[in-house]
Amino acid sequence: MQYPQTMYLVAGTQADQPQNNEIQIMKLSQLHRTRQSRQNEEDSDSGSDDESVDEDPILEHRSLPTNAGTNRIRVYQSNTSAIAASWSELGKVHLWNILSAYSSLSQPGYTSDAKADKPIYTVKNHRDEGYGLAFSSEGALLSGDNQGKIYFTQPTSSHYTTSPLPFKSHAPRSVEDIQWSPSEKTVFASVSSSGEMHIHDLRADSRDKPMINAKVSQSDVNVLSWNSSVAYLVVTGDDNGTTKVWDLRHIKKDKSGSNAIVAEFSWHKSAVTSVEWCPSDSSVFASSGADEQVCIFDLSTEADDEEHPSTSADMKDVPQQLLFIHQVCSLLTVLIIQGQKDVKELRWHKQIPGCLITTAADGLNVFKTISV
């Protein structure tokens, strides 16, 4: 990998005063590897005389006022558009055209459009706030609320339109997260505070009954991620701090079945707040929790007891597949970074292999722990 790196991020705030909230479109440039990650200078790709190490990064941003906290935000980008969807704590889902703000950051001298400060469309069908939010590969949007209703919004030739008939199989329990299928354009999965995962198809006649209804936890299921490379694998995270990897081929209607669980990790000491599969390695996923941990698991990893017998004995309670965790003893032989407080969400960078971005109550982290 060549340094320095540049990336663009979109985030929403949850400020104490409603009028201070905003959506931030950020450009991070001059991103270099840190000296802490180069304990072995001889193995450095760029050589031991890399004078660019530890240079200060540059942060530029544009802000869009929201006048309310943002529960969740998602972005759809194509060759001609950049649209952000934000779940407002006031119970509305706003769509924002952020192309102008993005262009003003990426093109010197470009003037941002003042009209971009207002949403281009608002989903007003919800009667409560929510967290479930997902764009399809074609820009269609699903939004799920705390009353268990999921509304479908799609772009038209000139605007957007929202179907008045919701998917309400989770009602009255809250919808916590939504993911589109990576292989079927009309199929999506959702999880709720009932501990269930539902899979729907937009083409189905009924919006009350899902194709699959699986009980995947005895507590609230907060998040899920659908593997983009292995389309039958889904990972979920619940309030008990457990992450589970499911094989959809073995989940029967109205049943979960122990044979459907590919892997289960009860590592987090509190609720799991975010999970996501690595886009460049189908066996790797990351998770964050209310215990202020960020972890990376690799399903293909197994401990070598013959090569490291003492280490394996000392770490008998550590999952073999756990590759990374912040603020933990060096026995894990992984990179230790400064922890964050109240980690809300994590995302893999799709163009920079192994790079993770995490948001928390005290800011955001950008770090790279593995090469994949």
pLDDT tens digits for 162-207?
999 999 999 999 999 999 999 999 999 999 999 999 999 999 988 9
Question: Distance between alpha carbon 143 and the CA centroid of its chain, in Å?
Answer: 15
Backbone angles phi, psi at 43, to 5 degrees: -90, 5
pLDDT of residue 339: 65
| HSE, side-chain direction, 13 A CA sphere, residue 135 | 20
Give CA separation, 280 vs 250, 347, 351, in Å.
25, 13, 9
pLDDT-based confidence at residue 293 (cuts at 50, 70, 90)? very high
Stronger pLDDT, 356 or 113, i.e. the higher one: 356
* Whole-number percent of the chain with pLDDT over 70: 84
Answer positive or negative: Cα dihedral of 355, 358, 364, 370. negative
Cα–Cα distance for residue pair 258/303, rounded to 1 Å? 24
Q: Where do the CATH 2.130.10.10 domains begin and end in the chain?
A: 133-266
Q: Which of 102, 142, 94 is nearest to 120 (CA)?
A: 94
Stronger pLDDT, 49 or 124, i.e. the higher one: 124
DSSP letter string, 126-187: -SS-EEEEEE-TTS-EEEEETTS-EEEEEE-SSSEEE-SS-B-TTTTSPEEEEEE-SS-TTE
Global confidence as pTM: 0.89
Length, in residues, of the chain:
372
Render pLDDT for 28-72 as a digit per residue (tens, 0 to 9).
Answer: 999 988 755 444 444 545 444 454 455 788 999 999 999 999 999
pLDDT-based confidence at residue 108 (cuts at 50, 70, 90)? confident
Q: Which CATH number fits domain 133-266: 3.90.25.10, 3.10.20.30, 2.130.10.10, 3.90.1300.10?
A: 2.130.10.10
Beta bridge partner(s), residue 261: 246
Q: Answer yes or no: is pLDDT of 333 > 50.
A: no
Q: Answer yes or no: is pLDDT of 325 > 90.
A: no
Mean pLDDT within 153-163:
94
pLDDT of residue 1: 73
pLDDT of residue 330: 31
Cβ atoms 37, 10 nearer than 8 A:
no
pLDDT of residue 116: 74
Cβ atoms 161, 124 nearer than 8 A:
no
- DSSP class of 41: G
Cα–Cα distance for residue pair 236/265, rounded to 1 Å? 11
Give CA separation, 14 vs 39, 116, 180, in Å.
38, 20, 26
Cα–Cα distance for residue pair 161/140, rounded to 1 Å? 10
Which token pair is 151?
């509304």
Cα–Cα distance for residue pair 335/349, rounded to 1 Å? 18
Residue 286, C-beta contacts closer than 8 angstroms, at least 6 positions apart: 274, 275, 276, 278, 294, 295, 296, 297, 346, 348, 356
Mean pLDDT of the chain: 87
Residue 205 corresponds to which amino acid? D
Mean pLDDT within 246-251:
92
Helix (H) or strand (E) holding 104: helix 99-106
